[in-house]
Structures are given as C-alpha cells and as structure tokens.
Structure 1
Amino acid sequence: MNLRLKGKNILITGSAKGIGRGIALAAAKEGANIALHYLHSEQEAVRTALEIKEEYGLEVYPVKGDIAKIEDVMKIKEELDHKLGGIECIVNNAGFFQMKSFFQYQPDEWKREVDVCFYGVLNLVHAFLPGMMKKKEGKFINIVGDSAQTGNRRLIISAAARNGAISFLKSLAQDVGRSNIQCNTVSIGLVNNGSSDFNEAALEKIIKQYPLKRIGKVDDVTGMVLFLLSNHADWITGQVVSVNGGYSMLG
C-alpha cells in the first residue's frame, strides 16, 4: 500500500525515544521529512536522528521545546518554517503523567499534567493549523492512553486532561474540515516502549485483562498512525481509534 508520505513534512512530538521514536522511524521509511521534537532527551534525539540519516538517507530536523509553553511552540514553528517551509502533518506524542490518586496530589502538582496533555494540544493547533488551513491540507493526530476514555484512579489528572483534548479535537475537526484537514485521536493500551514501571508479577496480572493476552508493541501503534497520516484516511476525521489489544471496547 502506497501511503504517499514521501516528501511530507511531519512534526512528531516526544519522538526521541519510545513510541514517538518508532513513529519517526516508520514515517522516515516512507520517505517523510521528520521534525524530531524533544524536551529533555537530547542524547536520545541525536541517536534517533543519526539512525534515520544512516538508514534512510534523509535529513532530520531536531527541535527542542516545551509544548506546554506557547512561546516555545511558536519558536519551533518559526524554525521549521525556515528549514522546511512549513509542516503538513503533526503527531503529538508528548505527554506527562504521575501515577497516584487524586488525594495524594498537592494543588500545585497537577498543573504540569494539564499544561502538557491539554494546553500542549491547543498550543500546537494555534501555532500550526492556520498554515495548514491556508494550504488546504493537513493532519493532526493526538496520541492518548486508554485512561482518557475509561478513567483510571491512578492516572486521574492526565486522563482528565487528555479526555479534554479528545473533545477539543472532535470540535476542531468540525471547524477545519472545510479546509481539508483531518484531526483524529489514537487511544492506546499499555505498550512496551523499552521501559516499564511494572514488575513481572504486576505485568502478568495486567496481561490477563487483555483479550489478546499481551501488551502492545511499538509497531502496533505505528501502523495505525501511518494509516491516519496517509491519503487513505482522507475521509476519517474527528474519530478516536483504539489500539489496545481489546482492553477496552468502546463504541
């Protein structure tokens, strides 16, 4: 299947490692120009950029910034406008969460999660979508955890913020559809991205909750993201697509 991503300028946030890195590598394999965003993971970003250059012979454009800060996002946009002439697609993989119940928070501790998981999406849209609307072409994909749909008592703040982002993108899809822009959410279950906060016993207990009896692999996510980035998904917008091994079956 020809995804027609060759030559597309794609910004992937949080793409130095883990799922974001996997998406960057997969999109580069299809010939896309990659804007590789990171905040703290500079060494990992350098390694990922070098791997893409060596493997696919493409130029990669690492960009550093905090998506929770509109001034950082605007600087990223200016830099990419200069280097690439603009961005045609965005995959927002950046996120931040704390695993604890609500009553373990102090009031100043939940702000960062809301700023990254909700306001980060608004900042990216505010900065980049007007350019896409002018060109009458663009795609915005936001990646969230399944807790954004199902709730999770130990991910309560990030789940709430990401649920807000889901609602925002549904409304945005209605607004920018006339400009031929598609906005979708990919909701994922637990994915092995190279690091785990669970011991073996806890992981076995979690796996029992998945009908497919395994947690996800990075490749399970990248295939769906590439499809939504492609021309084959031009009539899909405002949707939440679950990639979760059957952990939740919402409809």
Structure 2
Amino acid sequence: MAILTVPKVLREKLGDEGVEALITLLNEAAHHERNNLLGILEERFERRVADEGARLDKRIAEEATRQEVLLAETEKRLDHRITEEVTRLEVLLAETEKRLDQRIAGEVARLEALLAETEKRLDHRITEEVARLEVLLAETEKRLDQRIAGEVARLDKRITEEAAKVDNRITEEVAGLRQQIAAVDNRITSEMARMGERMAGMRADLIRWMFIFWVGQLGTLIAILFAFFR
C-alpha cells in the first residue's frame, strides 16, 4: 500500500528528495514484506491442504472399507430374509391355492345345481308359453279367417256392383258410339255424293277442254297442211 502523505516536520527535515526517497524505500519494504507474507501463507496453506487431503483420503478409505463390510453384512441378512420370505410365501401360496380350489369346487357344484334348477324352470315356463301362444295363435287365426270371409263377401258384393255399373256404362258408351258411327256414315254418304257431283262437273270440264285442245290442234294442223300444199 503506497504512502500518500508525509508529516510536515519530517518533510522539512529531509527535504523533498529525501521524502520521495523515504517513500520509495518504505513502499519497497512494504512490497517485500507482503511478498514474504504471501509466500509464507501460501506454503502453510499448501501444507495444510496436503495434510487435510491425506486425512480425508485415509478417512474415505476407512469409510469405504466399513461401508463394504456393512453392505456385505446387510446383503447377507437380506438374502437370508428373502429366502425366509420366499419360503413363507410359497407355503402361503400353496395354502391359498388349496383353499381356492376347494372354494371353486364348491362354487362350481352350487352353480351346476342352480343351472339345473334354472333350466328346469325355464323348460316348464317355455312349455307354458308355447301352449299359451298356440291357443292365442288358434284364436287369432280364427278371427282372421272370419275377417277374411267378411272382407271376401264385401269385396264380392262390391265387385258385382262395380261390374253392373261397368256393364251399364259400356252399354251407354256402345249406344253413343253407334250414334256417332251412324252420323259419320251419313256424313260420309253426303260427302261421297258431293264428291260425285264435283267429279261429274270436273269430267265435263275436262271433256270440254280436251275438245277445245284437239280442235285447236286440228285447226293448226289444217293450217299447216293448207300452207304446205298451197
């Protein structure tokens, strides 16, 4: 650490150069002492660290040995305990299996008996239901036969009525068609008469025009012959 101030009395005694030299000397001495102190502290620290490391290594080795011994003993005890537990569980499992087999056998016998009783009751109930359904089916069939017979009779009556209506309508339609046919025949007859009259007129006109045509042709021919022989 540098010296910043010097007492006034000492400065007056030594002068400025002496003060500067004194300050430099003191700084160098302080620096040297600090280096020596740091070296000593560093050596002590390294020695202490080495001692502590050796003690820790020794303690770690002792603890590792002790833990290994303890682990071996614990493993041995656990193996023995596991063997005992496995044996006990095997015995318990055998007893449990035996009890379960007995219980299963009892339950199977009980269920078989219950199943037989249930099957017997169901057979009886099915027989009763079949008989009831057969009776109901017979009654339903009888009612349906009666209803079908009634519907057939009603339909026969309705068909007869509809057939009579259709016959009447056909008769009326035939009479109407006959009247229409007679009217058409009369119309055709009148049209044929008119066509005959028109054809007679056309025939007379055709004969007249043919006569005029041939007379003209004959006159032309006579004129040509007359001109030729003249």
What's the TM-score bracket when you normalise by the shorter of the two chains? Answer: under 0.3
The structure in which a higher percent of residues are strand is: 1
Q: Which has the higher contact order (CA 8 A, sep 6+)?
A: 1
TM-score (norm 1): 0.12
The structure whose Rg is larger is 2
More helix by share: 2
